[in-house]
Amino acid sequence: MIRKFEAPEAAGSYDRYELKLCKQVSALTKEWVDALLFVNYHTKLTEKDGKQKAVGGRERLIYTTHTAAWDAKNRYGLDEKLPCVIASLAPIFARAAAPIAPAAAPASPTPRPGPVLLITRDQVEKLDALWHALNKTH
C-alpha cells in the first residue's frame, strides 16, 4: 500500500510503498524473510524545456534493495534491478535445492536452514513461459 512518510530531517513529505500489514507484523515479516522483492514498472525521467517528465512504464523490474520509496532486501546477492521474469529468481531456488554437506562437528550456533524449495530448471522455464503469456494478455 502507499503511505505518506514525513522524514524529520526533510522539509516535506513523500509517498512510499509498504507492506499492507500492521506495523508490528510488517517489521517481523521484513526481519524474517530472506528476500523481500518489490516489482514495479520502470520509468525514466526526461527533461524537456526545463521540465522533467516521466516516460516509459511498460517494462516491469524486480527491485531487491531498500530505497526511500519502497522496502526491499535480499540475502542471496541478487543484483539491485532484475528483469521481471521467473528465471531472474533462479539463484534463490538453486540455493534452496542444493544439497547440504554434512558437517564434521556441529558448529555453535547452528546456522538457520534455508527454505525447502525444490524446483527444476524445466519448471523455471515453464513458469517463465506462463509469466510471458499472462503479461501478453493484459
Which residues span the domain enclosing 89? 85-98+114-138
SS3 108: coil
- Residue 15, amino acid: D
SS3 8: coil
* Domain count across the chain: 1
Instruction: Calculate what percentage of the chain has a pLDDT beyond 70.
Output: 79
Asked whether residue 16 is domain-assigned, the answer is: no
Helices of type H across 13-108: 23-32, 90-97
Asked whether residue 121 is domain-assigned, the answer is: yes
Can you name the residues that pair with 35 across neighbouring β-strands?
A: 74
Asked whether residue 65 is domain-assigned, the answer is: no
Lookup: cell for 53: 517528465
pLDDT in tens, 92-111: 877 656 666 665 555 556 66
Asked whether residue 11 is domain-assigned, the answer is: no
Amino acid 78: pLDDT: 92
d(CA 95, CA 52): 42
